Chain A
Amino acid sequence: MPASVPDSTRARAQAGGGAIPAPVAARRAPWSWLRNDNFWAIAVLSPSLVAVAIFIYAFILWTIYISLVGWNDIVPNYEFVGLRNFQRLSQNPRYLIDLANTAKFTVLFMAQCIGFGFLLAVLLDQRIKGESIFRTIYIFPFAISAIVTGVAWRWLMYPNSGINLLFDSVGLGILKNSWFADPNIGIMAVSIPAAWQMTGYTMALYLAGLRGISQELREAAKIDGASGWQFYRYIAVPLVTPVTLTVFVILGVISLRLFDLTAAMTSSGPAFADDTPAFFMFQATFQKNNFSQGASIAVTMLILAAGLIIPYLRSIHLEAQR
């Protein structure tokens, strides 16, 4: 009667069913059903593990392999050429611009997301009336696709329109510029819509971190004479360091992957001022059939991403084992 199982189980659990270890040990030994269940657990899990092994890890290895052969035409060519693709990449002006663009973008994007995100979290932590309305507005760009975001911001950043009109109307005409169409600004302008999407997300993570600080600690700080700002500076900021690390990794990976937004806004921009490794990889591979070149760009992206993700996952792994 399997139907009887859940009811009695629930009853036991509700009755604080923690105090039942003895019979478990007694019944585990004679039957091997536990081993059987473990078998089922692994059997159910294994298709997913096989999929991950193939679609992530084997594919990464295959991409590395493609980056080491000379397949730069529509016809596959698996002739081994060593690191030649990487050597060429290191001399490719477009790729060097892309790396510099990624660096500029990452710094500005993170500065906006973390700076504004933390500020908004602290402000919303002040017993604000209508907090949920503010929160809803701040986070909702995160629910919108980067393509839609790009369509809107392309229009907002038009030289004689959008934001420049706003600058004019408040007497800040000196700030007017051509945004991503200006080769000297380029990708730095793209960091603004990207941060527009992710600031609310960052704020939500910080707000959850701040809400995790116990009331006792807040009271104790108050009794010790800490002002509101001293509390945030000396107590809250150190306590939300784990959040900052998480945010750093997530935003870093987003910066590396940057593709949709520039695709919708500008493609490569003037003189590759808005180009990214992800966009170069896409064009090289799927538009010009330079598969090995595309793979070598992808491998450099993987290396940079792994440098962020692996230490992060390791730290979580070690924490979970403790």
Chain B
Amino acid sequence: MRALALSRVAIYLVLIAFALYFLMPIYVLVVTGLKPFSDVSFIDMWHPPRSLYLGSFATAWPLVSANFWNSFRITVPAALISSLIGSMNGYIFAKWRFRYSNLLFMLVLFGIFLPYQGILIPLVQILQKVGLYGSIPGLIFVHCVFGMPITALIFRSYFATVPDEMVDAAKIDGAGFFGIYRWIMLPLSMPAFAVALIWQFTTIWNDFLLGVVVLSNPALAPITVAVNNLAGSFFVQWNVQMAGAVIAAAPTIAVYLLLGRLFMRGLLAGALKG
């Protein structure tokens, strides 16, 4: 009995140690962001700030605010459009099997894992040709194209759980392809929409590679590009870099903390389960 209690204590100690490990970098970011430059030193890195100093954030905000809003202007439409397209495609792949539809679905899924380096050169060439290179609509379009495979997967997994009998019943009642989507699938799929939207919001907000390649113009770039530029600059103080990083992370952390359960579902769907 005592051995059992002891092993329970050991389990909790390990769990708590890992929790501290996962929180450690965030502690450093926030604490350093709350210090004035005079208090920032290598040796005192772990010390909490002496007082609540918001000056670093006040300095960082004008440096990244334009990019912060750029990220919203990129992320929100791209997440909405890719989720909408993904819901249609997921519905078709789940409920309108045709010859080779499974094979086509696999070819679409390849896009989830594709190393984007393999398509960046033609991507830039085409976007330049059609005049979308270096523009926010261009980056939105790119995120919609490369976001569709994962949203289609999320919706297909979800719609697969809708019984085929419901679809058959709707057909008998005279509903067709669009009717079934409009009157059965769409109303049922709000949870899947939430999952897909959260997933896409997080992925697109956190994207760096596509942003830096398609939209490297500092005035239009997303926040990840701006924070990376801050971090690479020798003229920007550490505390300001940290504050900028906290600003960049805040929206996705907020989404995660508020809607964690839906985030988890997206995470599992993204691993091709079910």
Contacts and interface: CB of A to CB of B under 8 A. Distances in A.
Chains A and B bind each other: yes
Contact of A313 (B98, B106, B170): B106
Interface in B116-130: 116-124
Nearest to B21: A196
A5 B242 CA distance: 56
Given A37-B96, A126-B11, A156-B24, A165 B248 contact: no
B3 interface: no
B179 A5 contact: yes
B76 interface: no
Contact of A301 (B108, B117, B148, B165): B117
Contact of B121 (A62, A154, A310): A62
A33 B176 contact: yes
Interface stretch (A90-98, A173-181, A214-222, A278-286): A278-286
A38 interface: yes
A30 to B, nearest CB: 14
B110 A313 contact: yes
B208 interface: yes
A154 B50 CA distance: 23
B52 to A, nearest CB: 20
B32 interface: yes
A171 interface: no
Interface stretch (B38-46, B132-140, B189-197): B38-46
Nearest to B230: A151
B267 A13 contact: no
A6 B185 CA distance: 10
A89 interface: no
Interface in B190-228: 202, 205-209, 213, 224, 227-228
B98 A41 contact: yes
Interface size class of A (residues with CB under 8 A): 35 or more
A20 B115 contact: no
Contact of A146 (B120, B168, B206): B206
A316 B274 CA distance: 10
A314 to B, nearest CB: 8
Contacts of B23: 137
Contacts of A160: 42-43
B42 A317 contact: no
Contacts of B45: 155, 161-162, 165
B149 A9 contact: no
B6 interface: no
Contacts of A196: 21-22, 25
Nearest to B162: A13
A144 B249 contact: yes
Contacts of A259: 208-209
A62 B122 contact: yes
Contacts of B260: 136, 139
B113 interface: yes
A23 B43 contact: no
Contacts of B249: 144-145, 148
Interface string B81-119: 000010011001100101000111011111101111111
Given A150-B231, A165-B43, A196-B21, 4 more contacts: A6-B187, A139-B267, A145-B208, A154-B231
6 contacts: A9-B175, A52-B148, A58-B122, A139-B267, A196-B25, A264-B231
